[in-house]
Structure 1
Amino acid sequence: MDRIQRYRIGDATVTRVTELILPEVSSAFLFPDRDRTILTHDRPRWIGPENVSADGETLALSVHSWIVQTGRHTIVIDTGAGNGKRRPLNPIFDQLDTPYLERLAAIGIKPEQVDFVLVTHLHVDHVGWNTVRDGERWVPTFPNAQYVFSEAEYRFYAEEEHVQTPSAGVFEDSVQPIVDAGQALLIDAGHQQPLDGFTFHRTKGHSFDHLSISLTSNGERALFAGDVMHHPVQVAKPEWNSVFCEFQDDARASRLWALNFAADHGATFFSSHFPGTSAGTVGRADGGFVWFPR
């Protein structure tokens, strides 16, 4: 699908494993408050043609996981949409059949080698490969891993009335089976940091208790910020929420927090959906932020 994108953060290696490329997402749909000029003639130089069409009407997005190898642990951050999941209300992710596990194998990772799965939030395109089909059951894809996610988020989305239409069915086939298997580590990120070198930050907004995850290794930092941002245009326009941001004011505040964290700490920002290279650094200029792809 694309070349292997691999990065070093101190002593850790970070590799992207792509599930899907979505080449033509309506910008008007994804960003209801968009200003089309910044997608056309006022477009920053770092938002290239791989990110947006010339007329600004369509955007490209990626759905992928980040694999972190620390020398001690193998860690998967977010697990895409998954294969064979019934998503009749969300056709993009309905009954997928992608070679995700083959792509994982291509970088030398077998499911049984994964020690931790870190989940930023419980939306459809971040938990799908938590499980695979085994007969009539959904079982953990990574049989030896602890799956770490927010307890508050789990409790919230256990109530069906809180689940947005695009994520209908996710709890039943991709979240609860992990809990039932005894492989879930449900955390309160305000008080628990279960994995050395990683810090979980509460960044509510896109979802009820969305978590951003920072990594510190040998003096270098990274930030895996989930869906705090969907597209590099939001670096220039952090006030833009996606159509899927459930708590609008909190989403904007969390986005500013993530941009400031990355800029202040010189952290490599690993995005969940940026197309092209999905990693970069954040700088400041003219009272705003700029993006430097890696």
Structure 2
Amino acid sequence: MTPPAGWWVGDARITPIVEVTADCIIQAGMRDATPERMLGIPWLRPDFATDDGQMRSVVQAFVIELGDTVVLVDTGVGNGKPRPGLPAWSGLDTDFLDRLAAHGVQPDGVDVVVSTHLHFDHVGWNTTARRDTWTPTFTRARYLVSETEFGYWAGRPHGESADDHAGFDDSVRPVLDAGLVDLVADDHKVHDGIRLVPTPGHTPGHVSVLVESAGREAVISGDAIHHPCQIAHPEWSVHADFDPERARRTRVELLGRCADAGTLLIGSHFPSPTAIRVGRDGPGFTVHPVDLP
């Protein structure tokens, strides 16, 4: 499955950098998304589901280039991170940084790293191992984290997975200790034309990333929307949602914005073609072809 080359949103270029597949992992966590129900959404095939109703999904980061600024949204699972709760993502050894370099971005060329939230599969490449120590990967970047989100995880909340706590310890704490983290408001302006949008529910301080340029808009969803099937069924939740009802309301609000404003929806776990146009379908939502390169 070849990832798209990216999209121009006005003067901003957004490019996906795929790390690893996530098909069965996300479907297993979305109990409502059975193969039979997936087959009931015909437009999911062939890009977002197989002919037997199995979900297609990925873990990926996004490079936003606007003017001279390079912003990296989320950083995947990371290499060499022990995640025993999900063996498929434990101790990975991928060429993610080579893929980033193939796009023309070296680690020291990233100006800002934005975390939509602090689950381990969105922060892993924040750090890499050097002499058995987890150290910041993007050494020139400021790492932006919602203050609400950081406070939640720094409090070592009960009921969260050991893997996510480990992700905070080996992928967030080291960049904080290096003085590279900025704790920001959930509607923080990242750069002219790039800002955060509060999308709580999956986690307490979850944010999405809105790009606005030359009269066009795109939003990178993070885990506010895990899979396109939730466009047809916003009520389908994932087991990792902190507040499933709030997450549902957030999805409806985000989908409504995309439908009414013509905002391009770029799903953090959506496989190629990744970007979707949302339309209203009575009280619900559907998808339309994307007309951007």
Q: Is the structural similarity TM-score above 0.5? A: yes
1:178 pairs with 2:175: yes
Q: Would the alpha carbon gap of residues 170 and 293 (structure 1) be closer, same or farther in structure 2, given more than 3 Å must change?
A: farther
Shift of 1:131: 0.7
Once the two structures are superposed, the pairs formed by residues 192-207 of structure 1 within 5 Å of their partners are: 192-207=188-203
Decide whether the 8 Å contact of 1:25 with 1:60 is kept in 2. Answer: no
CA distance in 2 between partners of 1:103 and 1:217 (Å): 26
Alpha-carbon RMSD across the aligned residues, in angstroms, is 1.8
> What is the aligned partner in structure 2 of residue 261 from structure 1?
257
Decide whether the 8 Å contact of 1:81 with 1:93 is kept in 2. Answer: yes
Shift of 1:149: 1.0
Once the two structures are superposed, the pairs formed by residues 40-55 of structure 1 within 5 Å of their partners are: 40=39, 42-44=40-42, 46-55=43-52
Q: SS at the partner of 2:2?
A: coil
CA distance in 2 between partners of 1:63 and 1:208 (Å): 21
Q: TM-score, normalised by structure 2?
A: 0.93
Decide whether the 8 Å contact of 1:50 with 1:276 is kept in 2. Answer: yes
**What's the CA shift string for 1:6-65, capped at 9, x where partnerless?**
1100001111100012344474x222234654412x323x21133223332x31211101
> What is the aligned partner in structure 2 of residue 188 from structure 1?
185
Q: TM-score, normalised by structure 1?
A: 0.93
> What is the aligned partner in structure 1 of residue 97 from structure 2?
101
> What is the aligned partner in structure 2 of residue 13 from structure 1?
13
> What is the aligned partner in structure 1 of residue 77 from structure 2?
81
> What is the aligned partner in structure 1 of residue 275 from structure 2?
279
Decide whether the 8 Å contact of 2:117 with 2:145 is kept in 1. Answer: yes
Shift of 1:151: 1.1
Once the two structures are superposed, the pairs formed by residues 226-265 of structure 1 within 5 Å of their partners are: 226-265=222-261
CA distance in 1 between partners of 2:163 and 2:277 (Å): 30
Once the two structures are superposed, the pairs formed by residues 42-191 of structure 1 within 5 Å of their partners are: 42-44=40-42, 46-56=43-53, 58-162=54-158, 163-190=160-187
The percentage of aligned residue pairs carrying the same residue is 37
CA distance in 1 between partners of 2:18 and 2:212 (Å): 24
Q: SS at the partner of 1:170?
A: helix
CA distance in 2 between partners of 1:88 and 1:50 (Å): 30
In the alignment, structure 2 segments of 5+ residues that lack a partner are: none
CA distance in 2 between partners of 1:132 and 1:35 (Å): 36
The one-letter code of the counterpart of 2:234 is P
The one-letter code of the counterpart of 1:197 is G
The one-letter code of the counterpart of 1:30 is G
Aligned residues: 289
Q: SS at the partner of 2:44?
A: coil
The one-letter code of the counterpart of 2:41 is R
Shift of 1:140: 1.1
Shift of 1:128: 0.3
1:219 pairs with 2:218: no
In the alignment, structure 1 segments of 5+ residues that lack a partner are: none
**What's the CA shift string for 1:100-134, capped at 9, x where partnerless?**
00000111111111100111000011000011111
Q: Would the alpha carbon gap of residues 137 and 25 (structure 1) be closer, same or farther in structure 2, given more than 3 Å must change?
A: closer
Decide whether the 8 Å contact of 2:186 with 2:205 is kept in 1. Answer: no
Q: Would the alpha carbon gap of residues 39 and 114 (structure 1) be closer, same or farther in structure 2, given more than 3 Å must change?
A: same
Decide whether the 8 Å contact of 2:4 with 2:273 is kept in 1. Answer: no
> What is the aligned partner in structure 2 of residue 30 from structure 1?
29
Decide whether the 8 Å contact of 1:83 with 1:96 is kept in 2. Answer: yes
The one-letter code of the counterpart of 2:51 is A
